[in-house]
Structure 1
């Protein structure tokens, strides 16, 4: 008998019971949450695809590592293990731990971003851009145009930087006004799309020519390395570790949320080669996070983080992780549901504008679609569209070309049977799409509004 997929490359040692609310109670729950899936109680969710950030299942070795926590306020042994692990895997000289990725973004932005500076990047990320703008900088999107076209499936590396756009920005504003270029590997809001090794080389060469730092957002760098291995010529016989080492050779530093490809529940870091940047970050981390030897993490968290970074390099692990996402995406494609193509590494992204063409973007089709999926099935997803994009400095909404709902797959958590249920729920929602109506804000926070905003039907 032909198999549609290989079984999970792990066995279950502990289980967490799930329950599904009756539909009437799901409707009440989403109404209490103001039609914002971030405000749902976890106990009311059946299958949680809100995020892959900190929602992953740790291994037995990581759990064993928790028992080896050195909770010294300064000089924790677990920090030195984490530091050496990052140095060995990525090759950076310095590591400053933080409680999660946005802590690293805050440090980097406070040190380098000033008013009238410009930070190019391959599509914005919400917290990254917020930190840049709060320090007076201006984010400039220099990703290739194809990244903004959801059904453009013949581009294998939609996360690539457009070198001409980047060079034009340098010529326009001056290299001295660009503190760094932020390269996401992979690009979340483009649909989990990877960046090719060739593009990383080109970005590095142009940046060095003009004296501009290259800083990676390396939250999902292992997924990016996997796509390089299976899609880019010359890398099929390279190990994930070898590909990762070459990737980071084209960077001067990186921010990371360990809650993704570190396979832990909390943690992050800012890494760099530059001594002066390290000294400034070490001083500032004390103000916002903690000592430079824990940065907002416990010793046991740092130990689990170090172990998780090593486990993530295993090819069988990352192959299964990406193939689970592809499995769900392909089931939706077969049913005619519009999604971002090619399928990314950490999530399937529904194209809400194509899913709900009768709802204008000003009425937040991705937000209402996420709410309707929960009503249909108890599955929690999240909006990645106009609400996530927010407003510019004049208060105008951005209206991005991509209006998406993200179905994010946690690592080592759900089986293919869970994904079958999710696919059936999305397809059932698609069949009744004409019944769905738009939303308006009842409460709009001034920044990162997708986290705590509230809505009601128009």
Structure 2
């Protein structure tokens, strides 16, 4: 008899979350202009907006918080973090930043110029935003299998090598400053990337003398999928797999609020000393001195421990099995979700869930709003609103996938919370044919509009 898995930790402290009524939530979401980002946290029962910075830290991380060295220069906490990053990634040059988008801002300030093309696998919103802000183009080279939500492919985050080769063949050598590989690939549904694919992408990059940069926000979860899905790695430790996958890259950016298991933080790690020197100029201008870069010493110490904890198999197995538990409940109810399940979230397929709502009325956002109204559950749209308008035509970009992401914070919610989420979604799914109209935009920012967009409900 196989025993059910149990979390390898116990609770030391709890935080009260306040239930509310459907009528209250209808009022609150209207006051928030139907933007879930505008809701105050006390109006949310289960918060699945993001897994970024929303998890629970361990006792050892909290101990580091008490021991933080807040020296402006040469902090011992910085040295702990630098050592942890090099041990896990192998990159000798390191710059702390206050979060992932700050790392992108610093590195892209060096590497991205107007007119550049940056190929990658379904660039995340901040990555694409930083590229397009600099009047460059983010070119999606994800494999076609990623866009079939019902197809079981073990590594849907992979870059299509032929698409990547075409990008290089179609452009002058100086047009592509680097290739970005996101692991796991959030925009494609939290899907992992194989080491075989990273090797092949690295070979293409070397052929064209172009750096390979990894967006490593969820690199540990990616390593877990490599261990259980990719032939030849079953007997490897997570840490050994991490060193292997980073060995094919020239650098990385990281939002440490994910697989760093902290509430705030990020960093850049590089192999090339000259690129590091150029990046230090922008790090000092935008973030802070080289040995704190926008982070407190206590946060750097907690991150050093978090990186070690996140690259242990027992933690990752529990984390990813909880996400799969929710996915399995939804599949049992017949609810269309992206499969196989990703590492950090379950993604509802809004194109199949509510096809009765026109795409230009933002069906994924409409589904996310209904989930909040019905159950007090906050999620996020990964669809047309997030895709933004084309920077040249200013028309809506309609991505192949219209998704609602249910991002599960780390070490935060119980399996009973997962059962509640599944029950709420079943109730919505059973009445889905009543959903006919969506929303229209009344105000939006010119870039990364999803954070502040204002909407109104279309009633007729």
Q: TM-score, normalised by structure 1?
A: 0.98
Q: How does 1:316-331 map to 2 (within 5 A)?
A: 316-331=314-329
Q: Match of 2:32?
A: 33
Is 1:352 the counterpart of 2:353? The answer is no
The Cα shift of 1:112 comes to: 0.6
| Secondary structure of the corresponding residue to residue 119 of structure 1 | strand
Q: Match of 2:177?
A: 179
User: How far apart are the structure 1 equivalents of 2:21 and 2:412?
Assistant: 24
Q: Match of 1:205?
A: 203
Contact preservation (8 Å) 1:191, 1:349:
yes
| Secondary structure of the corresponding residue to residue 354 of structure 1 | helix
1:311-342 deviations in whole A, cap 9, x for unaligned?
00111100010111111001101111001111
| Secondary structure of the corresponding residue to residue 266 of structure 1 | coil
| Secondary structure of the corresponding residue to residue 173 of structure 1 | coil
Q: Match of 2:258?
A: 260
Q: Match of 2:444?
A: 444
User: How far apart are the structure 1 equivalents of 2:195 and 2:338?
Assistant: 22
Q: Match of 2:115?
A: 116
Q: Match of 2:359?
A: 361
User: How far apart are the structure 2 equivalents of 1:108 and 1:297?
Assistant: 17
User: How far apart are the structure 2 equivalents of 1:227 and 1:372?
Assistant: 32
1:138-195 deviations in whole A, cap 9, x for unaligned?
1111110111222222x11001110011001101003321110000010001110001
The Cα shift of 1:114 comes to: 0.8
User: How far apart are the structure 1 equivalents of 2:273 and 2:146?
Assistant: 35
Q: Match of 1:107?
A: 106
Residue of 276, 280, 283 corresponding to 1:282: 280
User: How far apart are the structure 1 equivalents of 2:133 and 2:446?
Assistant: 12
The Cα shift of 1:434 comes to: 2.3
How many residue pairs get matched? 456
Contact preservation (8 Å) 1:8, 1:415:
no
User: How far apart are the structure 2 equivalents of 1:134 and 1:442?
Assistant: 23
Is 1:303 the counterpart of 2:304? The answer is no
| Secondary structure of the corresponding residue to residue 406 of structure 1 | strand
Is 1:415 the counterpart of 2:410? The answer is no
User: How far apart are the structure 1 equivalents of 2:409 and 2:25?
Assistant: 22
Q: Match of 2:51?
A: 52
| Secondary structure of the corresponding residue to residue 168 of structure 1 | helix
The Cα shift of 1:2 comes to: 6.8
Residue of 228, 231, 239 corresponding to 2:229: 231
Gapped regions of structure 1 (runs ≥ 5): none
Q: Match of 2:403?
A: 404
| Secondary structure of the corresponding residue to residue 189 of structure 1 | coil
The Cα shift of 1:72 comes to: 1.2
Q: TM-score, normalised by structure 2?
A: 0.98
The Cα shift of 1:256 comes to: 0.1
Q: Match of 1:82?
A: 81
Q: Match of 1:377?
A: 375
User: How far apart are the structure 1 equivalents of 2:431 and 2:2?
Assistant: 34
